Amino acid sequence: MKLTRVLLRAMCAAVFVLMAFPTSAADYPAPKEGDWIVRNFRFHTGEVLPELRLHYTTVGAPTGEPVLILHGTTGSGAGMLTPTFGGELFGPGQPLDASRYYIILPDAIGTGKSSKPSDGLRASFPKYNYDDMVAAQYRLVTEHLGVRHLRLALGNSMGGMHIWIWAQKYPDFLDVAVPMASLPTEMSGRNWMMRRLIIDSIRNDPE
């Protein structure tokens, strides 16, 4: 009985902490969203899209030290603003305090509010890979946002795969690269099978 009461108190305390969490997550500056249209974007296949829309979210002032954060598969830049991620990093005194850093959260090609096959082109959308996605991110950061150097580039899962490419293609452009939940190897195993299943299901569906 005594153990039950102790567990109950611990559970109530945990609930209280979780309820209070979103309040602390709002301590950083309000995120700002934007779009940039890249004209005649050329993919690695040689295909050209007349207008490629790149959506992004920023936190903090452009005068801060630039930090690029990349999301995972099926995610978006805004998805990195959750209490358990942005709420732990972007607030006052936290590791990526937005009063000091300029945090850039792009939506990768094919995700979020950036251009994607479901916008209308469907299977006619240019075939794109990680190199295309990273090239688009680089152009967004340099050409549109005017960033000349990144203090940090961090990515999770698919975003982590992008970070490996960033570090290889643009080693002098960033001080620190942090690829999380990813390995610089070709996709294989269940991950590869799941993606093949999804792709084949779409391609074989007459609707």
Q: How confident is the model at residue 70 (pLDDT cuts 50, 70, 90)?
A: very high
Q: Is residue 176 part of a domain?
A: yes
CA gap 125, 102 in Å, rounded? 32
Q: Is residue 117 part of a domain?
A: yes
Q: Is residue 20 part of a domain?
A: no
User: So what's the pLDDT on residue 2?
Assistant: 41
Give the CATH number, domain containing residue 42: 3.40.50.1820
The residue among 94 and 6 whose pLDDT is bigger is: 94
Q: Tell whether the model's pLDDT for residue 5 goes beyond 90.
A: no
What does the radius of gyration of the chain's CA atoms come to, in whole angstroms? 20
CB 57 within 8 A of CB 32: yes
Domain count, the chain: 1
Q: Is residue 156 part of a domain?
A: yes
Q: Is residue 26 part of a domain?
A: no
User: So what's the pLDDT on residue 165?
Assistant: 98
Q: Work out the burial of residue 166: count CB atoms within 10 Å of its CB; fewer than 13 is exposed, 13-18 middle, 19 or more buried.
A: buried
Residue 122 structure tokens: 């469907």
Secondary structure letter of residue 78 according to DSSP? G
Q: Is residue 192 part of a domain?
A: yes
Which domain covers residue 118, as residue numbers? 31-203
- Phi-psi region for residue 19, left (φ > 0), alpha (ψ -120 to 50) or beta? alpha
Residue 137 structure tokens: 């991110």
Q: How confident is the model at residue 177 (pLDDT cuts 50, 70, 90)?
A: very high
User: What integer is the mean pLDDT of 142-151?
Assistant: 98
Q: How confident is the model at residue 1 (pLDDT cuts 50, 70, 90)?
A: very low
